[in-house]
Amino acid sequence: MRLTSFLLILLTIVPWASRAAGATVAANPAELQQGTVAMRTDLDLAEKYIKQALKAAPDNPEVHFICGRIMGRQAGDAIFSALSYAKKSLTCLKQAVLLQPDNTAYRRGLVSFYLGAPGIAGGDEDLAWQQVEQISAIDALQGALAKLNFYRQTEQKDQYRQLLEQSRIDFTAHAEFHYRHGLLLQEEKHYTQAFAAFTAATQAAKDNADVYVLNAWYQIGRTALFSQQQLAEGIDALNYFIAHAHAADDLPEKAWAHLRLAQLHKLNDDNALMQQHLGYAEQSNDKELQREIRRLQR
């Protein structure tokens, strides 16, 4: 497995870490913020800043966590020094956990590393599971999410399904479990049940900045397209998504929603609306999206 395989996962857990560490933000050195910003465009500069931050605040867990992310991304981009960077990433992530052992986000960072990195770089499923168990002991909700992630990453489909079904009951107010259940049902082409699961997600009271609620609205539209059923509901759902979604890495680009609307309107034999939404979709530079547009226009 390549070193790059765990990098995207490390990126996705940053919001969890930032919120969990919010109480100590005031103590964060300026170099931490500078390194976090630089990481988007210049990894070498980000590495320079995070090394300065480590010297300025050697006991700050957030500094070590961001160090783990930066070194992890460097490992993904490097050739000859990839293993060295991966080991630095692991060292920083472990230190973040050591400094703040009750922070489940930092432990999830370790889980992501252990599951994504090759063995030669420190990857280890047993160590990942140990962290999952620690997370479960700290917080039941975060433990359920960590276990689901572990089962998904290790392709334990039966365990994933069983835990997901139970978690929807135990944490019924949380949109994420209903959303993930909908994805599972959609993948298995149980479209009627998928509609119900995604609808439950849109009605759930608790969510992470509406990420799963908005994703569920989008998936209602996709499910209508795949099943060629409940087209009106699918169109309404995608229009809702376009009206309310904000630009974020964990949400589909609005251009994709316009493409799905064009596809649904084509099923409805509404050429005018199909062309209207194709026009919006064509403004995107996404190559995969452009291929889908060309297929629809044939």
Domains of the chain listed by start with CATH number: 1-170 (1.25.40.10)
d(CA 89, CA 94): 9
Contact indicator for 17, 103 with CB cutoff of 8 Å: yes
Chain segment 252-296, per-residue pLDDT in tens? 999 999 999 999 999 999 999 999 999 999 999 999 999 999 999
Query: What pLDDT tens digit does each residue of the chain (298 aa) get?
Result: 445 554 544 544 444 444 444 434 447 899 999 999 999 999 999 999 999 999 999 999 999 999 999 999 999 888 888 999 999 999 999 999 999 999 999 999 999 999 999 999 999 999 999 999 999 999 999 999 999 999 999 999 999 999 999 999 999 999 999 999 999 999 999 999 999 999 999 999 999 889 999 999 999 999 999 999 999 999 999 999 999 999 888 999 999 999 999 999 999 999 999 999 999 999 999 999 999 999 999 8
Chain-centre distance for alpha carbon 151: 16
DSSP characters over 45-85: HHHHHHHHHHHH-TT-HHHHHHHHHHHHHHHHH-STTHHHH
Specify the length of the chain in residues: 298
In whole angstroms, how far apart are CA 193 and each of 104, 136, 160, 190?
Answer: 32, 29, 17, 6
Q: How many CA atoms lie within 13 A of 71 on its CB side?
A: 25
d(CA 57, CA 60): 5
| DSSP-derived 3-state class of residue 13 | coil
Q: What is the pLDDT of residue 249?
A: 82
Q: What is the pLDDT of residue 3?
A: 52
Cβ of 15: how many Cβ atoms within 10 Å? 16
Report percent pLDDT > 70 for the chain. Answer: 91
Burial grade of 14 (CB within 10 A; 0-12, 13-18, 19 or more): middle
| DSSP-derived 3-state class of residue 165 | helix
